[in-house]
Amino acid sequence: MKRKKRTTGGNLHEERKVDHVKICLEEDVASSKNFWDDVYLVHEALPEVDPEDVDLTVEVFGRKLAAPIIISGMTGGSESVTRINENIAAVAEELGIAMGVGSQRAALLDASLRGSFKVVKEHSPPLVLANIGAPQLVKQNDGVVFGAEEAIDAMEMVGAHLIAVHLNFLQEMVQPEGDRKTDGVWEALKGLSQEVPVVAKETGAGVSRKAAIMLKEAGVKGIDVGGLSGTTFSAVEYYRALQASDSLKAALARTFWDWGIPTPVSLLRASVGLPLIATGGLRDGLDVARALSLGAALGGFARGVLKDAVESKEALMVRLQTIIEELKVALALQGIKRARDARERPGILLGQTAEIAKESSSTASLLCTMT
């Protein structure tokens, strides 16, 4: 595929990233239901584990973390959001947790937008994920195609250990100016995964078993299931379409507000032997414990910590320290000494989440027997 390089042209993407942060701070962009409420952890009246002695350390992608937490990729690509990435990087370093940055598309197209990403390199979080979009791996309307060269550039820009390739086709399809071409993305992702260490990352609509198997076959190193429960990008795009007076796209985005696979279900379905990151609707340390109990290697927070990341490094630090403390208590109260053993006491699925988990496998087998 011919690659077209540009030194300018990131402006549209830059504006869009700023819009996303603003809308996520000002509007209700959450899915109607948070499916983590359906994950029940069993209390131990005699835990024999003190919260202070709970070992939260984990090793993932060959990197040692002090706690199984990642601040998921959100932003960058504009002067105005530099502080956000700076605060996230400083806190991630201090607490020994992982971090991602938002899409680096704009900065790859326009070198003047790199500062908001390069700021991450002033700190040393133990695990940093760069970020590009899967739609950019194939030719879209703008004719620009990203490959290994751009991925390496993006990783160097933030001092990353791996690159997250985000799968955001729900967003692209309801977005006023979305990149809707999906054909060939798997092949391109497979090619990229031979060159650089890739984490495939959904952004709020979850990863099915079929997609997880395809991603494993493509050679990715891990999957962020990015499921439905928290931020839904159809909601974000709904507000952008309203601002742009695009009534068709607003209606489309509204219809798909709650589209996707609930994060807890996606964790179970995407279990194909790769490290899984659970992003999508996590609110606190109890939700991290729920995610670990269903097999996640890391729990990811995006919008749940955005307000604090915007406010100050101190606010974000307090928020993450609280999450870590909650996680310790949740593990201790289940009698779990080490975070990496949490999956040995699986959470119990209730209500709609249990139904979806059960039916997502049985409807397929029912259809098979009918034909």
Ligand X SMILES: Cc1cc2nc3c(=O)[nH]c(=O)nc-3n(C[C@H](O)[C@H](O)[C@H](O)COP(=O)(O)O)c2cc1C
**Where do contacts with ligand X occur on this chain (CB under 6 A)?**
20-21, 24, 72-75, 102-103, 131, 164, 166, 201, 203-204, 226, 230-231, 279-282, 301-304, 306
Rg (CA), the chain: 20
- Among residues 279, 138, 132, the alpha carbon closest in space to that of 203 is found at 279
Indicate the helix (H) or strand (E) that contains 362: helix 351-370
Cβ distance to ligand X smaller for residue 150 or 334: 150
Q: Which residue is nearest to ligand X (CB)?
A: 230
Quote the CA–CA distance of 358 and 368 in Å, as a whole number: 16
What minimum distance in Å lies between the beta carbon of 22 and ligand X? 9
Cβ distance to ligand X smaller for residue 279 or 293: 279
What minimum distance in Å lies between the beta carbon of 19 and ligand X? 9
What minimum distance in Å lies between the beta carbon of 10 and ligand X? 13
Question: Which residues are registered as beta bridge partners of 228?
Answer: 262
Cβ distance to ligand X smaller for residue 54 or 196: 196
**Other beta carbons less than 10 A from residue 4's beta carbon:** 12
What minimum distance in Å lies between the beta carbon of 61 and ligand X? 16
**Sequential DSSP letters for 9-77:** --HHHHHHHHHHHHHHHHS--B-S--GGGGEEPPP-SS----GGG-B--EEETTEEESSSEEE-----S
The four Cα atoms 257, 225, 144, 101 give a dihedral, to 10 degrees, of 100
Cβ distance to ligand X smaller for residue 336 or 356: 356
Quote the CA–CA distance of 360 and 206 in Å, as a whole number: 13
What minimum distance in Å lies between the beta carbon of 224 and ligand X? 7
Cβ distance to ligand X smaller for residue 72 or 116: 72
**Token digits of residue 230:** 């928290």
State residue 99 phi and psi, 5-degree precision.
-145, 155
What minimum distance in Å lies between the beta carbon of 103 and ligand X? 4
What minimum distance in Å lies between the beta carbon of 336 and ligand X? 23
**Other beta carbons less than 10 A from residue 262's beta carbon:** 29
What minimum distance in Å lies between the beta carbon of 102 and ligand X? 3
Q: Is 79 left (phi over 0), alpha (psi -120 to 50) or beta?
A: alpha
Cβ distance to ligand X smaller for residue 85 or 203: 203
Cβ distance to ligand X smaller for residue 68 or 230: 230
Cβ distance to ligand X smaller for residue 200 or 268: 200
- Among residues 100, 352, 66, 96, the alpha carbon closest in space to that of 224 is found at 100
